[in-house]
Structure 1
C-alpha cells in the first residue's frame, strides 16, 4: 500500500476552506482569552486551533495537551521577551506552556494565526518566523506541515493520537518515519510496530493532494499540499489505534467511507469478528474449508494491486 494511503487510513476529512479566526494576531503585552476549547462533555479547557465556520468543531492543534486548564480561567499572553505564554490562572504566576524562544535585545515579536492553521511568532524587525505550531504536530498533519526525521539536528516530528475523543492527552499510538533500509512510515503502539507503508520510493495514486518526500542522508521528511487550496485536508492518527490491512490482503483507501481491506484470492480473514468491525490489521489466512478455491489445475498468475512490498527496515 502506498505511503499516502497509510496516512489517509487514520482518517481523511475534506472541508471547505474558510478563514481561521476573526482575531488572527497578538502583539507584545496583549492578552487573549480566545482560542480555548473543551472537548466533548469535559470541563477542562485547552488552547487549540480549529476550523472556522464549520458546524462541528474540528480541532487541528493543541498546546500542552497533557496539562489542561481547570475551570474558566486561563489566557494567552505575549510577554516582553517576545514569547507566547499560556497561564492557567489570572495571577500570571504559574505558566502552563510557553514558546520559549530567544529574541534579540530591543526586538519584539507578534503572534499570528495564518489561514493555513499555522500559529507563528514573528520578529518585528526582521519579519523572521522564530516559532511555529507546524513544528510541533499533535495528532493531525495539515497541508504544509512536515513529518521530519533529522538525526544530525536531533529533530523527530511525528503524529501522536489523543487518549480519547474527549481527551487530547498524548497516547501511545504514533506515525513516524523509519529510516532503516529504504524509508517507510510505521504506525506504532508505543515501540511496537503495528503496520507500515511500502518502502520508498512511492508511486502517488491520490489526486486530492500533491505529496513530496525528501530522502537525504541527514534529513528525511514528508509534506503534502492541496494544489488549488479549494478545500482543506487533514490527516489524523485516530485514538482507537486501528492498524492497516494485515498480511495477505490488499488495501484500497480512496474512499474513507468504505472499508478498504480485502483478502487475496484463496484467503479469508484471520479474525472475522474484528474484520466485521473494520479492523483488518489481523490480515488473512489460507481458506481452511473451501480448499477447492486454491490453485490446482490450470495454475496461473493473478494481478494484485495495492499490495505492500516486504519490510526493508532490517535489510543490510
Structure 2
C-alpha cells in the first residue's frame, strides 16, 4: 500500500469520525423527545460522572455505561447492555411509549437490546432519566420526582458509595456484583459477590456458584474477615438486617474523594481511591490475595494462619487432629480435622477453649440470639451437645449478643490482632490441658503434628506417630508437664526434646 493511499484512508477515517460526532450533544436529562445517541454524553449535575456509549479495551462492540467524567483513564463502573453488545455506532437510548428506558440499534425500533421493563401505566411524557451526583442513573416521574427505576438496583462489577449489596425482601431485588468476562468484555463473568442469608447473613464471593472467598458475618463494626475496612475518616459503613432487607453500603465523609470497590475478571476484589495528583487509582485493600483467603483452605475444624511464613499454615482447632496425617505432611490440609478418638463432648465435663483473633467460621449453620450476654451464650451452648462454638455477635457498644455454631466449623482464619475470639467446645481432657499449658500450646502442638522439623538445631526429627505418643504420655510433676517415656536407650537429645514438647 502506497503512502498516498494510506494518507487517503486516514483522511477518510477522520472525516467519518467527524461526521459521526458532529451531532454529539451533552445532555442533563433524557426524555421521549430527547434521546441519547452514540456519541452523546449524559452528565451528572456536578459533572463528576458521565453516561454514554463506549468500547472496552480492544473491543469494537458498543455498550451503554457510566464512568468517571474527570478521570483521564476511562473507568467504567456500570454497564446496561453488558450481555447484548451493539456491533456499530447506531445505538440510541430513549424512553418509549410504555415509559421504559429502551436501547435500540440498527434502525430496529421494535426489538430492544436492553430495557428497564417496568410495565408502568404512567404517561411517557411525564418521565425523565437523569444521572445523579451519586452516579445513580434514575428514571423518575415529573414533576413529583417519584422514583421508578435506578441503576443502583442493578450493579455490575463495582460497588459505588451509597450503592447497596444484599437483598430487598419486599421487591426481591438482589443487589449482587458480577465480574466482567475480561477487560475487553463486560459480559457477566464467573465471579459474584453477594450477602448469603442462609443461617446468619455473611459476605461471600462465589466462583461459578462455588464458595471462593468469605468476608464473614457483620460483627457490628465490620465484616469479620475484613478487619482492615471499618469506619474511619474516609467513609462510614452501614449494615441493615431486618424483615424488609439485608443490606450493606458505605458512604463517603468527603464527597470530593473518589473511592470504589471493584471486582476484576479474575475475582479479585479491590478497594481503591483516586489520587488527584496523578489520576491513578491506589489500591489499599484486596481479597483474596493469599492461600488462607481461599474458602476453607484448611478444611473442616481447621484454622489457617497466613503468618506462619516458614511453616504449614494449617492447624487443627483444640480437641481436633488431622483426618489424614499423611496429607498434612505433604502440606495438604483440605481434608480438615476430626475430634480426637474417644473424646466425649456431651455431659462429660466438657467446656470451651478460646481461639484468639480469627475470622469466625462459616455462619450457614449458626444462630444468633442478640439478647444474650457472652456468659449466657456459653451456658446456652454448653447445654446443647450439638453446639460446637460460640462468640459475641456484635462488637459495637462494648459487645453483645450470642452467635453459636452447630456442626463442623469451616473457613477459620488467623487475623493478627484484629479478629474475633472464638470459643470452641472441647472434651474434658483437652480442657484440662488447655488450662494447664496456656493458649499457645495448640499452635505448637499442631506444628509438631503437621511434621515440622526439630525445635533446635541438632535435635533429631520425629515422626507423626511418635509425636502423638509423646503428647499422649505427658504428666504433671511440680506444676510442669514431663514425658512418661523414659529409658537409658533413649538419645539424650531425644529425652530433652520429649521434655520440651511436654512443657509446651
TM over 0.5: yes
Structure 1 residues 156 and 257 mapped into 2: Cα distance closer, same or farther (>3 Å)?
Answer: closer
Q: Which of 181, 198, 214 is residue 196 of structure 1 equivalent to? A: 214
How far is 1:287 from its partner? 10
1:209 corresponding residue in structure 2: 235
Q: Please show how residues 1-316 of structure 1 align to structure 2 within 5 Å.
A: 22-33=26-37, 34=40, 35-101=52-118, 102-105=120-123, 108-151=126-169, 153-204=171-222, 205-207=230-232, 208-242=234-268, 255-256=284-285, 263-265=306-308, 268=311, 307-315=358-366
Structure 1 residues 268 and 255 mapped into 2: Cα distance closer, same or farther (>3 Å)?
Answer: farther
TM-score normalised by length of structure 2: 0.47
The runs of at least 4 aligned residues of structure 1 exceeding 6 Å deviation read: 257-260, 285-288
How far is 1:59 from its partner? 0.3
Root mean square deviation, CA, Å: 3.1
Structure having the higher helix fraction is 2
Structure 1 residues 234 and 188 mapped into 2: Cα distance closer, same or farther (>3 Å)?
Answer: same
1:29–1:80 Cα contact (<8 Å) kept = no
What is the distance in 1 between the residues matched to 2:29 and 2:90? 21
How far is 1:266 from its partner? 6.8
How far is 1:42 from its partner? 0.8
What is the distance in 1 between the residues matched to 2:151 and 2:284? 29
How far is 1:50 from its partner? 0.5
What is the distance in 1 between the residues matched to 2:287 and 2:243? 38
2:165–2:195 Cα contact (<8 Å) kept = yes
Match of 1:313, SS state, is: helix
How far is 1:311 from its partner? 1.2
Residue deviations 1:77-117 (CA, integer Å, cap 9, x gap): 12233221101223423211111221424762011011211
How far is 1:216 from its partner? 0.8
Which consecutive residues of structure 2, in runs of 5 or more, have no partner in the other structure? Answer: 1-24, 41-51, 223-229, 271-282, 291-304, 314-327, 332-354, 368-504
How far is 1:126 from its partner? 2.1
Greater shift in the superposed pair: 198-207 or 69-78:
198-207
- Bigger RCO of structures 1 and 2 (CA < 8 A, at least 6 apart): 1
Structure 1 residues 198 and 216 mapped into 2: Cα distance closer, same or farther (>3 Å)?
Answer: same
How far is 1:227 from its partner? 1.2
Residue deviations 1:92-149 (CA, integer Å, cap 9, x gap): 2321111122142476201101121111111014210101111111111111111122
What is the distance in 2 between the residues matched to 1:57 and 1:199? 34
Which consecutive residues of structure 1, in runs of 5 or more, have no partner in the other structure? Answer: 1-20, 245-253, 271-284, 289-302
Structure 1 residues 53 and 266 mapped into 2: Cα distance closer, same or farther (>3 Å)?
Answer: closer
Residue deviations 1:283-306 (CA, integer Å, cap 9, x gap): xx8997xxxxxxxxxxxxxx975x
